[in-house]
A and B are shown apart, each in its own frame.
Chain A
Amino acid sequence: MNNKDLLNLIDITVSFEGFLALNKLNLNLKKGELRAVIGPNGAGKTTFLDVITGKVKPTKGEVIFKGKSLVGRKEHKIARLGVGRKFQSPRIFENLTVKENLEISVSTPKSPLNLINKCIKDEQLNEIERLMKIVNLAQKVDSKAGSLSHGQKQWLEIAMLVGQKPDLMLVDEPVAGLTDEETDLTADLLKSLSGENTVVVIDHDMEFIRRLESTVSVLNQGTILCEGTMETIQKDQKVIDVYLGRPEE
């Protein structure tokens, strides 16, 4: 652990009635880093996000974010500290319009009094406009989010995530169900976000992960098996055995 780290997971263990979803997991993230996390089904990828965002309390271990412990904090408090999350299947508010969805994400402070009394600030409206352009939804401003296509929903949720201005973005399978073209655009978008933001991407689409050109952590049976560039992990014997399969002859 050093001062430049944004997030440290220390010996995280999560036990669901004896089943160890995470087992002494250690992971450090530097500020501005883009990190990919891969692993076979049931490796604990989603539980790992649940622990950081406060949905699941670790049985043992410590989560340090910006020098503060996150363990035991409520989800909304963690979100306000600067942890944003995109879910596996798009979780947007389908009965609200695209613009209303983004308003919810960019509004601060997030108190009832502010929301009921005041109009949204101009700079927040500008931010919404900027976000809609980035994800190509400018023409859909007043459409119900529920009427968007699957890819557009994924992007709307990414836009909502960015709109929250989190220091740490946790992105769970952002390209599930996207076309190749959309996948490429999403990869570029995430790459452009890192640097200023710290981004963790979870996925098992290898082509997509390769495009991110980031450090990759391989998760298996609740613990980090191996960390390094795509090339390094592809040569690692342990990774090949549990996940990648033998290279084609």
Chain B
Amino acid sequence: MSLRKFKFDKRIVLSFWIILIALIIAAPTLLPVFRLNLLGRYLSLSIVALGVDLIWGYTGLLSLGQGIFFALGGYCAAMYLQITSSSEFPNNIPEFFALYGVEKLPFFWEPFKSPIFTFFAIWIIPALVAGLIGFLVFRNRIKGVYFSILTQASLLVFFNFFNGQQKLINGTNGLKTDVTQLFGQMVGSESMQRIFFWITAILVIAAWFFAKWVVRGRFGNILIGIRDDEPRVRFTGYNPVIFKTIVFSIAGALAGISGALYTVQSGIVSPQFMTVPFSIEMVIWVAVGGRGTLLGAILGAVFINYAKSLVSEALPASWMFIQGGLFILVVTALPEGVLGWIQGDGPRNLLQRFGLKRTIETYPSLEVNNKEGNNE
């Protein structure tokens, strides 16, 4: 396993950042609106992928239910937009309520009239829900595949609930945001979408730094310790339940932010965000990009989704096969993902295999097998 090694030259790092920032500023003029919007969406998905990497890549918790928190963030944003744009509709409530004969705004919509409340709700509500689910599961020492099954089951519960509540949140139709108004502008308009793109790009970078801050130093080492040998962490005096709950909440918050950004750029939030395949896809992005690398999660989310849209345009219906094949390839040939493979000397080994470049094994690596003959 090669986690956190790989030191870049300072100049390379600097030029990387300059190019990145230049690209972000220039993107709206370089790309057609349609492509820009797609890129913005995929960048927002990379934030949820960062959360998956924190809980799975570092802490070893394979959650198949991140869609819950993603959708919650999306719903929070959409409820605010719907309610602030409902002044011309009957009873001053969002239009869809009239379809089901609802005349009074359901109570839980009330706080979403406030932009400040919404701003916090987008990440705090998913974090709290994740913290609660996480705490109950972790306290009972449910681990491994049981944890994965439980998160998927929770996802289905949330999906069915949201899907069935027409009178509360428009059920299966979801909440549209593209025709709503934000600060006097149409959310779906070109100028708004450009702003959302920039906000997303900034937040992806911020989320990346935040995630790096979480995993750096001793806190991150405990997470890795929990992943590799949880009982040992306990016997050293740490309470893994607290650490896991915290990191699961962080991933929930990131998923919420991601969901809100995705919603405003795709124009709708619906229970489709909570389908089983979508949450599994999030895991695939991280697996392909490289677990425990953070950057791999971002690259995985953006590139796989971009590939998905390009492939779907050219050969409709073939994407599922490609995605499945990609996953099988990663599991069998690149268990550490593409970035993990590159960091772990993968390219050099591949060149060697074709006889292109030979390097002599370094001497210290011989020591690994030392003294192991007589144990246990």
Contact = CB atoms under 8 A, between A and B. Distances in A.
Partners in one complex: yes
Interface of A: 53, 55, 74-76, 79-80, 84-85, 87, 89, 91-96, 100, 103-105, 107, 110-112, 115-116, 119-120, 146-147, 149-151, 160, 164, 176-177, 179
B229 A177 contact: no
Given A112-B243, A115-B219, A120-B218, A79 B237 contact: yes
B237 A80 contact: yes
B367 A177 contact: no
B218 A79 contact: no
Contact of A76 (B218, B239, B372): B239
A176 B376 contact: yes
Residue of A92, A112, A146, A150 most packed against chain B (CB within 10 A): A112
5 contacts: A79-B237, A91-B231, A100-B221, A103-B218, A115-B219
B235 A93 contact: no
A76 B225 contact: no
B218 A179 contact: no
Contacts of B222: 104, 112, 115
A87 B233 CA distance: 12
Contacts of A111: 242
Nearest to B247: A112
Contact of A112 (B225, B232, B242, B376): B242
B225 A93 contact: yes
B231 A149 contact: no
A119 B216 CA distance: 11
B239 A74 contact: yes
B218 A93 contact: no
Nearest 3 CB-CB pairs, A to B?
A: A177-B375, A79-B237, A116-B219
Contacts of A105: 236
A146 B369 CA distance: 11
Given A112-B246, A149-B370, A176-B376, A76 B237 contact: yes
B371 A179 contact: yes
A104 B375 contact: no
A116 B242 CA distance: 13
B238 A93 contact: no
**Dominant secondary structure at the B interface:** helix
Interface in B349-376: 367-368, 370-372, 374-376
Given A93-B221, A95-B224, A96-B224, A150 B234 contact: no
A150 B371 contact: yes
A105 B82 CA distance: 52
Contact of A147 (B3, B232, B237, B368): B368
A110 B237 contact: yes
Nearest to A103: B218
Interface of B: 1, 3, 213-214, 217-219, 221-222, 224-225, 228-229, 231-240, 242-243, 246, 367-368, 370-372, 374-376
Contacts of B235: 53, 75-76, 79, 84-85
B372 A150 contact: yes
A93 B243 contact: no
A112 B367 contact: no
A30 to B, nearest CB: 24
Contacts of A120: 218
A110 B372 contact: no
Given A103-B218, A104-B218, A164 B236 contact: yes
B298 to A, nearest CB: 22
A232 to B, nearest CB: 30
A75 B243 contact: no
Nearest to B218: A115
Contact of B367 (A79, A84, A147): A147
B6 to A, nearest CB: 14
A95 B3 contact: yes
Contact of A110 (B224, B228, B238): B238
Nearest to B4: A95
A160 B236 contact: yes
B368 A104 contact: no
Nearest to A86: B235
Nearest to A151: B371
Given A104-B225, A151-B371, 18 more contacts: A79-B235, A79-B236, A87-B232, A91-B229, A91-B231, A95-B224, A96-B221, A100-B221, A104-B236, A110-B238, A111-B242, A112-B242, A120-B218, A147-B368, A149-B371, A177-B371, A177-B372, A179-B371
B225 A150 contact: no
Contacts of A84: 235
Contacts of A76: 234-240
B158 to A, nearest CB: 27
A35 B223 CA distance: 35
A177 B246 contact: no
Given A53-B235, A79-B236, A164-B236, A116 B214 contact: yes
Contacts of A96: 221, 224-225
A57 B3 CA distance: 37
Contacts of B238: 76, 104, 110
A119 B217 CA distance: 8
A79 B235 CA distance: 6
A176 B374 CA distance: 9
Contacts of B236: 76, 79, 104-105, 110, 160, 164
A235 B243 CA distance: 52
A73 to B, nearest CB: 12
Nearest to A90: B375
A218 to B, nearest CB: 23
A142 B138 CA distance: 32
A89 B242 CA distance: 27
A89 B221 CA distance: 21
